Amino acid sequence: MQELQIPTKSNSSISPFNSNAVILLDSTK
């Protein structure tokens, strides 16, 4: 779970799964 909070927007382009985590983080801000 902790790894899901680490990915940045630059990493999101590498893995679509990470992009979902970034979207969740953005929504919490």
Condensed to tens digits (0 to 9), the pLDDT of residues 3-25 reads 555 556 555 455 565 566 666 66
- pLDDT confidence of residue 6: 58
> Alpha-carbon dihedral of residues 9, 6, 18, 20, nearest 10 degrees?
-80
Place of tokens 């953005």: 26
Rounded Cα distance between 6 and 23, Å, is: 12
- Tell me, what's the pLDDT at 12? 47
